[in-house]
Amino acid sequence: MGHYVLRRVLQMIPVFFGATLLIFLMVYSLPGDPIAAMFGDKAADPATVANLRHQYYLDQPLWKQYLHYMNNIFHLDFGTSFTGRPVSEIMADAFPVTIRLALVAFFFEIVIGLPLGLIAGLYRGSVADTLVLVLTLIVISIPVFVLGYIAQTIFAINLGWVTPTVQDSKDITQLILPGLVLASLSLAYVARLTRTSIGENLRADYMRTAVAKGLPRPTIIGRHLLRNSLIPVVTFLGTDLGALMGGAIVTEGIFNIAGVGNVLYRAINQKEGPTVVGIVTVLVLVYLVASLVVDLLYAVLDPRIRYA
Amino acid sequence: MPAGTRVRWAVVSATSVALVATGCGSSGSGSGGGSSDTSKTFTYQSSEPQNPLQPANANETGGGRIVQNLFKGLADYDPSNGKLRMQVADKIDTSDAQNYTVTLKSGWTFHDGTPVTAKSFVDAWNWAANTNNNQINSSWFADIEGYKDIHPESGSPTTDKMSGLAVQDDTHFTIKLYNKVSYFPFKLGYVAFSPLPEGFYKDPAGYGQKPVGNGPYEFVSWDHNSQVVTKTFANYQGVDKPKNGGVVFKMYTTSEAAYADLQSNNLDVMDQVPPSALANYKNDLGDRAIDAPQGAIQNIGFTLYQADWQGQDKNKVRQGLSMAIDRDTITKTVLQNSRKPASAWVAEGVDGYKAGTCGDFCTYNADKAKQLITEGGGVPGNAIKITYNADGGHKEWVDAVCNSIRQATGVNCTGDPKTDFKTARAAITGHQINGLFRTGWVQDYPLNANFLADVYRTGAASNDTGYSSPEFDKLANEADQAASVEDTATGYQKAEAQLAIDMPAIPLWYYRTNSGFSTKVQNVAFDSFGNPAWTQVEVKG
């Protein structure tokens, strides 16, 4: 087990460097000159442009910029944005908001998605099963931004239960509606995945054995059926946490939440290299850690993996 | 933003009521007219500033509108007619349009209590113009003698003071310009010319996050990506005393989100309704909808530096193309009345605006268009491309213009989208465009010279077409030498007439402010900069 964890952690190092380099190259290859763009329609002043370019290290060759950037990262310096704010400060503001939003979404996925899948799987062919299938199909087929605008129109503008946008991004109760919208797609996947997995395992040998042994029904379902059926679901949920954080960009736009998606959108638009690379680097780390946790959970759920 | 661009916005503190009134029947200055509470703040749709909040560094709307409320310069533009109005300055005298003497009013202070003196201006301008301080708006000081020493084209400045500026005493200073510029005081309304308090120079970066100004509102807090809170400055000496308790600038990434908030009274005043709401916003908001003119114009420019567009009579081809565009129909249908057909190169509502300078060339006439194009020798290859930025909502009208040209003249016209504004601008300024391109101009200050000298004079910084006309330059120079601003404006009208002959760019239409406000506020009116009259907004009690 220890070797396994160590190997996984070591694997993260090349992934980290590869990912940052790729993002760096991508940001750099975006069209347009961010410094000249600061001047808008008006002609840029050459002396000021040269100065600013020097200030943001943009007058160096790309490989030097990358080395400079990585060197700074090891000193925990993520650079400064065009507004003069340290990128680390920007991230410290934005990440907690998005993490909270992602956790709200994650909570809904588990609390709503899993039971729905469980019920549908246990009572295949029933009315409840059909209902879950139809509902999830609808959710999967509607793009998130459409769902977001529908939710905003119904619950905020028509019913007036909530404000159309989030007034205070730090208030978790205001994140419930956006969280539900963000969760909707994954929620449907979780329900369907659980249903299939449970349907398969219901016919497994160990289930028949468990029933034959005369175990009480809650034990059969909880310890035997669910535990084995959750393996693919946990894989999905784990990687989904990373996806939720990155995918919040649409939801954050609709509900005007001051999170990572919001900042990232603006930074990409302005081609603000340090901010984009910094945020995406952290997102990559989140993803890596999430998949590490998934792999560890695997081992807990399925002993065969543990000894492999 | 109009044109999908980031633009400079000059200082303005109040609106031209007359402009709004003539704009449209449904433009309003309030619903009801009940009592108001001068201690209450109102919220305004904004976006996260892209630069630190320093006056000479704010050239985009997000930071610009905040800075212009925190600072107040020598002058701004009058609410009733858009003309120049004195603020900190008591008067700005000149006898030769080259040497100016500024007399300040006394009693003005910064928000930290220190007095606003002649030195506050001179030091601030010297700091802003200095290459070492990397201020985006530094070129605004280029008229002042000594600018070339403090801001050389390359290398470090040899001095930190412009020789053209001299402090006489606390309330007097003089400005000497390189050349005669009769309308120089008009430029002084721009926020880059704001004064700065002594404390600024100790920590300019820190001030950029926590500005201390002398304007109607003082800075309270900046919750990044969320809001900037200001409150009314009790000791404000300006002529436009705030009728509210302050402005809260709420950051929005999309105007759809802002519009949803406006409809449910979670936002009080917004910039511009989203395109998706243009068709319905007057129904949604009733008498709280606003439709007001803006000092901004949309054009199609020609690459006059290319052989295709040079030579005798090619101006007839350009005039013909202009006549082949059905501006009325396109603004009504594709643009849903959010623009007004242009008949000149200067936007309406601007001082010196003269309707109809473009003459018949801006009126749709398919037969005449065909005839002119033939007389001019035809369009090379009988095909043109209009380059535009795809991120600014321009595709629809570019396609419509192309259709119009194709149907009227048989010239094959297609749109040529570039990914975004940055890319399009790089291609335009780098002369990597073939034929035609979308261009536009948003006023820096409401005077026709700004629409003409800065765009069409030979070698002007924003002369994207490469237009060079000795006649135009001569008339523009004459206008600059004029004794008064009125004469300058008339002089530039003569220069504008030359544009109708040469047609370096086709004027299409003027922008409009399509906006609205919540039920919590009243007396909301927009100026030609597309800004509300901040200090005049009343919050209902």
The angle, 0 to 180 degrees and rounded to 10, between the axes of the packed helices A227-254 and A260-269 is 50
B30: pLDDT strictly greater than 60:
no
What is each CA distance from B267 to A1, A157, A166, A174, in whole angstroms? Answer: 55, 13, 12, 17
pLDDT of residue B13: 28
Gap between the Cα atoms of A102 and B285, Å rounded? 35
Helix (H, G, I), strand (E, B) or coil at B205: helix
> In chain B, whose CA is at the least distance from the CA of A260?
B225
> In chain A, whose CA is at the least distance from the CA of B263?
A157
Span of A96-105, A123-132, A223-232, B397-406 with lowest mean pLDDT: A223-232
Please give the share of chain B, as a percent, with pLDDT higher than 90: 67
Gap between the Cα atoms of A237 and A19, Å rounded? 22
Predicted TM-score of the model (pTM): 0.85
Gap between the Cα atoms of A280 and B230, Å rounded? 33
* Chain A partners within 8 Å of B136 (Cβ): 38-39, 45, 48
Helix (H, G, I), strand (E, B) or coil at A279: helix
B17 vs B130, residue with greater confidence: B130
> In chain A, whose CA is at the least distance from the CA of B148?
A47
- Domains in chain A (CATH in brackets) are 2-74 (no CATH), 89-301 (1.10.3720.10)
pLDDT of residue B313: 87
pLDDT of residue A306: 61
Please give the share of chain B, as a percent, with pLDDT higher than 70: 93
Residue B7 near chain A (CB below 8 Å): yes
A34 contacts B261? CB cut-off 8 A: no
B31 vs B175, residue with greater confidence: B175
Backbone angles phi, psi at A80, to 5 degrees: -120, 150
* Chain B partners within 8 Å of A32 (Cβ): 419-423, 425-426
The 10s digit of each residue's pLDDT in A240-296 is 888 888 778 889 989 999 889 888 888 887 888 888 888 888 888 888 888 888 887
> Over chain B, what is the mean pLDDT?
88
* Chain B partners within 8 Å of A84 (Cβ): 51-52, 205, 208-209
Q: Which of residues 479-518 of B touch A (CB under 8 A)?
A: none
pLDDT of residue A305: 66
Backbone angles phi, psi at B130, to 5 degrees: -65, 125
- Strand locations in B346-402, DSSP E? 383-389
B535: pLDDT strictly greater than 50:
yes
> In chain B, whose CA is at the least distance from the CA of A249?
B253
Please tell me which of the candidates B50, B261, B423 has its beta carbon nearest to residue A32. Answer: B423
- DSSP H stretches of helix in chain A: 2-29, 34-37, 46-55, 62-74, 87-108, 114-122, 127-141, 144-151, 176-202, 205-212, 217-219, 227-254, 260-269, 273-301, 303-306
Please give the share of chain A, as a percent, with pLDDT higher than 70: 98
pLDDT band at B245 (very low <50, low <70, confident <90, very high): very high
Interface test with A, best of B1, B46, B50, B250 (most A CBs within 10 A): B50
Residue A252 near chain B (CB below 8 Å): yes
Backbone angles phi, psi at B300, to 5 degrees: -115, 120
What is each CA distance from A236 to A242, A293, B460, in whole angstroms? Answer: 10, 12, 59
Q: Is the ipTM of this complex over 0.90?
A: no
Mean pLDDT over A73-77 rounds to 83
The 10s digit of each residue's pLDDT in B313-369 is 899 999 999 999 999 999 999 998 899 999 999 998 888 999 999 999 999 999 999
Mean pLDDT over B464-490 rounds to 91
Q: Which of residues 201-230 of B touch A (CB under 8 A)?
A: 205, 208-209, 224-226
Q: Which helix (H) or strand (E) holds B185?
A: helix B184-187
Adjacent-strand bridge partners of B264: none
B419 contacts A163? CB cut-off 8 A: no
Specify whether the backbone of B239 is left (phi greater than 0), alpha (psi in -120 to 50) or beta: alpha
Residue A249 near chain B (CB below 8 Å): no
The 10s digit of each residue's pLDDT in B149-199 is 999 988 889 999 999 999 999 999 999 999 988 889 999 999 999 999 999
A254 contacts B6? CB cut-off 8 A: no
The reply to whether CATH 3.10.105.10 applies to domain B293-513 is: yes
Nearest C-alpha of chain B: how many angstroms from A78?
A: 18
Q: Is the dihedral of CA B380, B383, B389, B392 positive or negative?
A: positive
A302: pLDDT strictly greater than 80:
no
A50 contacts B154? CB cut-off 8 A: yes
Backbone angles phi, psi at B84, to 5 degrees: -65, 140
A164 contacts B422? CB cut-off 8 A: no
Q: Which of residues 38-67 of A touch B (CB under 8 A)?
A: 38-43, 45-48, 50-52, 55
Question: Taking the domains of chain B in order of start, what are their residue ranges?
Answer: 42-232, 293-513
Give the contacts of A173 (CB within 8 A, at least 6 positions apart): none
A237: pLDDT strictly greater than 80:
yes
Site of tokens 């943009």: A58
Q: Which helix (H) or strand (E) holds B168?
A: strand B165-169
Token representation of residue B302: 């020609």
In the CATH scheme, what is the code of domain B42-232? Answer: 3.40.190.10
B14: pLDDT strictly greater than 70:
no
The widest CA-to-CA distance across chain B, in whole angstroms, is: 69
Residues in chain B: 541
